[in-house]
Homo-oligomer: A and B are copies of this chain.
Amino acid sequence: MTEQVVIALDAMGGDSAPDMVVGGAALASRRLPHVHYLLFGDSARLEPLVAKHPGLSGRVEIRHADQVIKDDDKPSTALRSARDSSMRKAIDAVKDGSAAAAVSAGNTGALMAISKIILKTLNGIDRPAIVTALPTAKGSCCILDLGANVQCSAENLVQFAVMGEVFARTVMGVEKPTIGLINIGIEEIKGNESVREAAAILRETTLPIEFVGFIEGNDVAAGKVDVAVTDGFTGNVALKFAEGTAKLISGFLRESFRTTWRARMGYLLARPALALLRERTDPRHYNGAILGGLNGIVVKSHGGTDALGFANAIAVAVDMATHGFIEKMREDFESLRAEHPATDPKPVS
């Protein structure tokens, strides 16, 4: 018997909320029968939605929340004025221990700000990072930061490397994850000061991590490392570039199959096999980024996703809770602090 896990869901965040949130919970519950949900949002809208999914019966508790944080709300506004928001209440549930993790498809900036204030960062971590796993030629690669920190110091990057290592080990199940620092060339002299300094620290560390040095942007998809570290600006732009490229190529592929009668026939024959390609490149299967470095598990779903994508974000949250991600992070950062006490007094901003 697997132990019961409770996940808090911000039912009102995301373009197609609350339908896709409830639909996502229903989908996830088929694969994850041990998971129960706390559903935060407008109870009048949520009750009939939950009732439509018999699979959720007895596994969902609706908790009313009056407010919804909008996508264009500034993080500061969300912090000040939205104490009764579905997002805030979902994070509160992680803080008070009634849920093992929270999932939201709402405003990323607000989610990060509220999570930092309520849950606080782990000892030894100055700034949390957005972390996700991407498909590669060899499996998957954990990449961070994807947009929480526009500018990063060498210490931030070093902390991200340790966070990513724990993620790859506990969530991806890689025994000895390799770590690369993204740069515009692999020579030591390349890049800005932060990456050069971070590389120097990582080369010398006595922490049991496998730092391979600098990697380039294309090395991530090639599967050269298990963990790719970069600042939030570069990571966000690069990830979205990759998404755009994937979409462009599928468009080109669709057009190619439509050009001739022969090609259409070919498509019909290959269609079942091409489902595999779709599956492997479907962004919904990679939906669910972690706000790493907090005293609690918070997963951010893509705002534009559907029930299938949201179900995947729930699965990520369950995975993290089940594998003791936070506990392992805490242990590793104790070691890092012992080695680099200098990173401690920096303000959390």
Contact = CB atoms under 8 A, between A and B. Distances in A.
Interface of A: 72, 74, 135-137, 147, 150-151, 182-184, 187, 189, 191-192, 216-222, 230, 232-234, 236-253, 255-257, 259-260, 262-263, 265-274, 276-277, 280-281
7 contacts: A217-B239, A218-B240, A222-B248, A242-B245, A256-B273, A260-B272, A267-B270
Contact of A256 (B218, B259, B277): B277
Given A74-B189, A147-B184, A273-B257, A247 B222 contact: yes
Contacts of A265: 266, 269-270
Nearest to A71: B187
A218 B266 CA distance: 30
Contact of A253 (B216, B220, B253, B271): B253
Given A233-B191, A248-B137, A249-B249, A256 B270 contact: yes
Contacts of A219: 244
B182 A237 contact: yes
One complex includes copies of this chain to the number of 2
Nearest to A253: B277
A245 B221 contact: yes
A25 B85 CA distance: 65
A260 to B, nearest CB: 5
A12 to B, nearest CB: 21
The interface centre, meaning the residue of A272, A273, A280 with most chain B CB atoms within 10 A of its CB, is A273
Given A192-B233, A217-B236, A237-B217, A281 B252 contact: yes
B221 A244 contact: yes
A278 B35 CA distance: 45
Nearest to A262: B269
A256 B276 contact: yes
A300 to B, nearest CB: 14
Contacts of A242: 217, 241-242, 244-245
Nearest to A135: B248
A217 B182 CA distance: 17
A263 B265 CA distance: 11
A234 B233 CA distance: 8
Contact of A232 (B184, B251, B260): B184
A332 B251 CA distance: 36
**A184, A256, A272, A277 interface centre (most CB from chain B within 10 Å):** A184
Contacts of A189: 74
Contacts of A150: 184, 191-192
